[in-house]
Amino acid sequence: MTETLPPMPVQRTRPLDPPLEYDQLREEQPVTRVRFPNGSAGWLVTRFEEGSQVFSDPRMSARRPRHDTPEGEVSEAGEEAPFNPTFVMMDEPDHSLYRRLLTGRFTPKSVQKNLQPYIDRIVDEHLDAIEAGPETFDFVQAIALPIPCLVICELLGVPYEDRDGFHHATEIMMDMANSREERDRGAKWLIDYITELVAKKRATGAGEGLLAELIRVADAEGSFLTDDELIGMGVLLLFAGHDTTAAMMGLSALTLLTHPEQRQDLADNPAKIGPAVEELLRYLTIVQFGLGRVAKEDLEIGGRHIAKGELVVVAMPAANRDPRVFDNPDTPDFDRKMTRHLAFGYGVHQCLGQNIARAELKTVLPRLFARFPHLRLALPAEEVPMDTYGTNYAVKKLMVTR
Amino acid sequence: MKIAIEEDKCCGAGQCVLVSPEVFDQRDEDGIVVLLEPNPPQEQYATVREAAAVCPAAAIEVHE
């Protein structure tokens, strides 16, 4: 018999706020059993400290089954993606072995030196193109999508002319309104694409970029990195590297366009861009269905007993609105005194690309509003189409007038 | 104040460097934390505490 459980909240009432049911859960049942969107059962954590604990406890395994897939689509950990997820699903010490192949290219210093000049240039070029184009335009197609695509292509050494293909495949794969077969088709496209690209780079002597560096690691005598893992990492970096930042950029622009006070604050105080980006990350927390972990042994979280093998999902959008940690959590406040948030997760799996996302957001947002001080929505805010089924919450289209 | 770092735990997120660049750095090749200043001056204490609190891997220990 299946347990009768309340469903995990997924329906939003207001476009920029997580489902309102979270407010009650956070106060009354901060660690509670729910039925996830795919029908599997497990624990949902809605408070900040308890959520942080789940992510940083070494007794919690990152090798977890999906919970956010469509109704009835339950699979085993590691079985849900047709590509090898490598370090994303690994625990220590294996996780570090793989992640450290990449971390050197994602440090603030490396991003500043190797990517920031490129970001500066492409953002200005795209703003020039907007200025030369029609007065009303889609911010997603004009900036939010192309900038992250260009940056991940530059970092990986992927040809930018292939962007339509890999973005379309990513959209299909990440849209939880699609069936497993459809989403697997998107993933398969990405696998075939990276497989071919790796073969091409090998044939021509690899060259520049992170993908070429990984090929050199895999091809070294006695390397632990297999081709299956190399391709899995390439797929992962390509889709995670552009879809997330694109979602965050579109939602950030919508937030500033609908919050004139905060927009003015940033215009008057350009030095606040760092805290403003952190606050937007907290406020928007795009990983809308949260992230799961599996208990490797019996343990306690927030006074509740979690049994070995149970799935625990941290609802980061709820945890990042926890009033125990954030005063007036539902208002974006660029003067907020905040040490950390959970938008990038927490623990050793915390987002690898976070410093690239920061660099892109910190470049695009102030320059966009400085260049077009009269920028406004071309339609009422409530009519902006939202991507409610995406793993990453996003605006589908953001028509604005400059 | 005395700072101890655990390289094995470090996941290279770079949060410490963002908060307290005078005290922490990262190795170029793999992003592992480098302690520039094991006994920082008093004016750095607040940011060092914040760096320890923000570290996702709990790789920074502060003794006062």
Q: What is the pLDDT along chain A (402 residues), one digit of tens a residue?
A: 467 899 999 999 999 999 999 999 999 999 999 999 999 999 999 999 999 999 999 999 999 999 999 888 888 877 767 889 999 999 999 999 999 999 999 999 999 999 999 999 999 999 999 999 999 999 999 999 999 999 999 999 999 999 999 999 999 998 988 998 999 999 999 999 999 999 999 999 868 899 999 999 999 999 999 999 999 999 999 999 899 999 999 999 999 999 999 999 999 999 999 999 999 999 999 999 999 999 999 999 999 999 999 999 999 999 999 999 999 999 999 999 999 999 999 999 999 999 999 999 999 999 999 999 999 999 999 999 999 988 999 999 999 999
pLDDT of residue A362: 98
C-beta neighbour count of A264 within 10 angstroms: 12
The model's pLDDT over A73-129, given as tens digits with 9 standing for 90+, comes to 888 877 767 889 999 999 999 999 999 999 999 999 999 999 999 999 999 999 999
Please report residues of B whose CB lies closer than 8 A to that of A354: 13-14
In angstroms, the CA A29 to CA A23 distance is 10
Over chain B, what is the mean pLDDT?
95
Contact B12 A107 (CB under 8 A): yes
In angstroms, the CA B58 to CA B11 distance is 10
User: Distance of CA A339 to CAs A147, A275, A351, B18, Å?
Assistant: 28, 10, 17, 12
A2 occurs within a structural domain: no
Contact B14 A106 (CB under 8 A): yes
- Residue A40, min C-alpha distance to chain B (Å): 29
Interior angle at CA B57, CA A10 and CA A245, nearest 5: 45
Contact A340 B54 (CB under 8 A): yes
For testing the chain B interface, which of A53, A88, A350 should be mutated: the one with the most B CBs within 10 Å? A350
Q: Which residue has the tokens 């970029």?
A: A209
The model's pLDDT over A154-171, given as tens digits with 9 standing for 90+, comes to 999 999 999 999 999 999
pLDDT of residue A206: 64
pLDDT of residue A315: 98
Contact A106 B25 (CB under 8 A): no
| Cβ contact B37:B44 at 8 Å | yes
pLDDT of residue A2: 62
- Residue B59, min C-alpha distance to chain A (Å): 10
* ipTM of this complex: 0.94
pLDDT of residue A79: 73
pLDDT of residue A394: 97
- Residue A127, min C-alpha distance to chain B (Å): 28
Q: Which H or E run contains A326?
A: none
pLDDT of residue A226: 97
Q: Which residue has the tokens 């996941």?
A: B11
The domain ranges of chain B are 2-63
Contact A100 B17 (CB under 8 A): no
Residues of B engaging A, defined by a Cβ cutoff of 8 Å:
8-9, 11-15, 17-18, 25-32, 50, 53-54, 56-58
The model's pLDDT over A32-59, given as tens digits with 9 standing for 90+, comes to 999 999 999 999 999 999 999 999 999 9
Domain B2-63 has CATH 3.30.70.20: yes
Pick from A101, A350, A355: CB nearest B11: A350
A1 occurs within a structural domain: no
Range(s) of the domain holding residue A338:
21-401
pLDDT of residue A325: 98
In angstroms, the CA A3 to CA A41 distance is 8
Chains A and B form CB pairs within 8 A to the count of 72
Contact B14 A355 (CB under 8 A): yes
Please report residues of B whose CB lies closer than 8 A to that of A350: 11, 13, 56-57
A3 occurs within a structural domain: no
Nearest to A129 by CA among A141, A119, A113, A111: A141
Please report residues of A whose CB lies closer than 8 A to that of B8: 96
For testing the chain B interface, which of A87, A348, A349, A358 should be mutated: the one with the most B CBs within 10 Å? A348
Residues of A engaging B, defined by a Cβ cutoff of 8 Å:
55-56, 96, 99-101, 103-104, 106-110, 339-340, 344-352, 354-355
Q: Are strands B2-5 and A386-387 parallel, antiparallel or unpaired?
A: unpaired
Contact B56 A355 (CB under 8 A): no
Per the structure, how many domains does chain A have?
Answer: 1
Contact B57 A56 (CB under 8 A): yes
By CA distance, what is B16's nearest residue in A? A108
C-beta neighbour count of A192 within 10 angstroms: 13
Contact A354 B18 (CB under 8 A): no
By CA distance, what is B53's nearest residue in A? A339
CATH of the domain at A318: 1.10.630.10
